[in-house]
Homo-oligomer: A and B are copies of this chain.
Amino acid sequence: MNTEERIKKQLELIETMGRIFEREGMQPVVGRIMALLMVMDKEMFTFDQIVEELQISKSSASVGLKILQASNSIEYTTIPGDRKRYFRIKSQDPLSLMEDIKRKIEEKRGILTQVLELKADPESRNSQFFKNLIYIMNHFLEKYEKHKEKYQNKG
């Protein structure tokens, strides 16, 4: 694959990823900024480069970048003697991805526990189903913790 082909595919991937981020609740422009910062060979973009590359307004870029910073997804560095901000994705601890998933499972478990506590009949069809769900959630959360420990110790 030559460079030209590669760049074309990268641009396509930005659209695809943008839609995935959108499905997860980001607004379209925000998702595409995130995707841009992830896929291109250049990994630091200035405000104007983002505006130019994605063909969006300065205001959308400004708001979008603010949202991504607030959600801890990107950061910027500055170069002395250069007024521009250079934006890039924030490379957090890779485990934080798994921690997000864990938190979501815990949230669901919390809700199901409340539902169960409020049931008149703890043996009803739904009660039993929810007990099962909670059981499996506990099982996997437990296993997850063990593997996290191992992973952290080994590095």
Tell whether, in the assembled complex, residue B6 and residue A118 are in contact, meaning their CB atoms are under 8 Å apart. yes
Tell whether, in the assembled complex, residue A147 and residue B136 are in contact, meaning their CB atoms are under 8 Å apart. no
A94: interface (CB < 8 Å) = yes
Q: How many copies does the complex hold?
A: 2
A51: interface (CB < 8 Å) = no
Tell whether, in the assembled complex, residue A97 and residue B136 are in contact, meaning their CB atoms are under 8 Å apart. yes
- State the CA gap A143–B95 with chains docked (Å): 15
- State the CA gap A41–B117 with chains docked (Å): 11
Tell whether, in the assembled complex, residue B136 and residue A151 are in contact, meaning their CB atoms are under 8 Å apart. yes
- State the CA gap A101–B144 with chains docked (Å): 13
Tell whether, in the assembled complex, residue B13 and residue A114 are in contact, meaning their CB atoms are under 8 Å apart. yes
**A147 CB contact (under 8 Å) in B101, B105, B140:** B140
Interface residue ranges, A against B (CB under 8 Å): 3, 6, 9-10, 13, 16-17, 20, 23, 25, 38-39, 41, 43, 88-89, 91, 94-95, 97-98, 101, 105, 107, 111, 114-115, 118-121, 124-126, 129-130, 132-133, 135-137, 139-140, 143-144, 147, 151
